[in-house]
Amino acid sequence: MGRQERIRLLAAVAVGLLAFAVTGTAGAAPSCGSRLLADWRDGRIDNTYPVKCYRQALAQLPEDVRVYSSAPADITRALQARLSASPKVATTKHSSAGVSPLLVVAVTAAVLVAAGSVAAVVR
């Protein structure tokens, strides 16, 4: 590799690093936690966000905001409201044809007691 080729390579790397430094964060979209914090800045949260955004916002709170403002309580309250508004997972009722969990526990206990009794007799 000749001297001119090294200079060109070095110049290309320098230009690439400079371009990355200038545009590296300019096009990045703010996280949903950051958007939620920006929404809270007026003292209330006007929009509804995914649950992960509330958790992200709580994790990203600057120390002074965490200590000297109502942000943690406000965001936690909004998170609780969001969770209570979420659709609940449907619970299935056991039909009379299904096996009761209590019956399963009772049968398992009986089998264990019987096995222990057999082991004691064999000794």
Name the residue with higher pLDDT: 15 or 57.
57
The model's pLDDT over 42-63, given as tens digits with 9 standing for 90+, comes to: 988 999 999 999 999 999 999 9
Quick one: average pLDDT of 76-88? Answer: 86
pLDDT band at 102; cut points 50, 70, 90: confident
- What per-residue confidence (pLDDT) applies to 80? 94
Phi, psi of 102 (to 5 degrees): -65, -40
75 and 44 Cβ atoms separated by less than 8 Å: no
Is 79's pLDDT higher than 80?
yes
Q: How many CB atoms lie within 10 A of CB 62?
A: 11
